Amino acid sequence: MMKFKVINIENLSEAQFDSAFDKMSSERKIRCLRYKFAEDRRRMAFGDELLRKLLSEVYSADEKDIELNNLPSGKPVAKVLGKEVFVSITHSGNFVASAVSDTAVGIDLEVKKAYKPTVYKALNEAEREYIAKSKDEALAFYKIWTAKEAFVKLSGVGLAGFSKADVLPLVKNGKWDGLVLKANHTEDYVFTIIYEK
């Protein structure tokens, strides 16, 4: 089982932010307040709230029975009625997304914008070649990038494992080495989830 939700937070009010922030654990509030920009704090609070709602729906639990915290690596962890479950959260631009699974899961969403070729150093040679041969290089880049981010979140290795994550087989085939990749894109964003089969 794997479920996810994506929402646009652009028109959500300050009162809605306050409500979402109040529901966060002390640990998550501290992490949220470390963000320099208010937009980042909004994304984190609304991402938490979206995840709580998704967990509540999936596990038929009251939101008060849901705990969200972080591992030392920063990876979010959730408990529903005391049982640990696999979760992932992402946010970019006006979008936040959350995923819940009964196996390890990673989710990433990126709003498409101009990027500097210097970010290519985080990609391996095969990934750079895949992008160069693509009809839409920007889309190919974001497919690779979001897959790497989702994989890093799934594995919990943190950003240190980003450049080592070889996701090309997943991007090309949708399945590889016991993992499943689901992706979607619009004119504005690219969205990828990777979870264990």
Please report which confidence band the pLDDT of residue 73 belongs to, taking 50, 70 and 90 as the band edges.
confident
Q: What burial class does residue 178 get, using C-beta atoms within 10 Å of its C-beta: 0-12 exposed, 13-18 middle, 19+ buried? A: exposed
Query: Which of 174, 141, 191, 154 shows the shortest CA–CA distance to 6?
Result: 191
Give the sign of the dihedral formed by CA 119, CA 120, CA 121, CA 122. positive
pLDDT at 71 over 90: no
Q: Residue for token digits 């989702």?
A: 150
Residue 135 makes CB contacts below 8 A (sequence gap 6+) with none
Tokens of 60: 């038929």
Q: What tens digit of pLDDT does each residue of 146-161 get?
A: 999 999 999 877 666 7
Report the Cα 167 to chain-centroid distance in Å: 16
pLDDT of residue 121: 83
Cβ atoms of 178 and 103 within 8 Å: the answer is no
Mean pLDDT, the chain, integer: 92
**pLDDT tens digits, 86-135:** 999 999 999 999 999 999 999 999 999 887 777 888 899 999 999 999 99
Query: pLDDT band for position 74 (50/70/90)?
Result: confident
- Do residues 138 and 188 touch, judged by C-beta distance below 8 A? no
* d(C-alpha 187, C-alpha 128), whole Å: 22
Q: Whole-model pTM?
A: 0.91
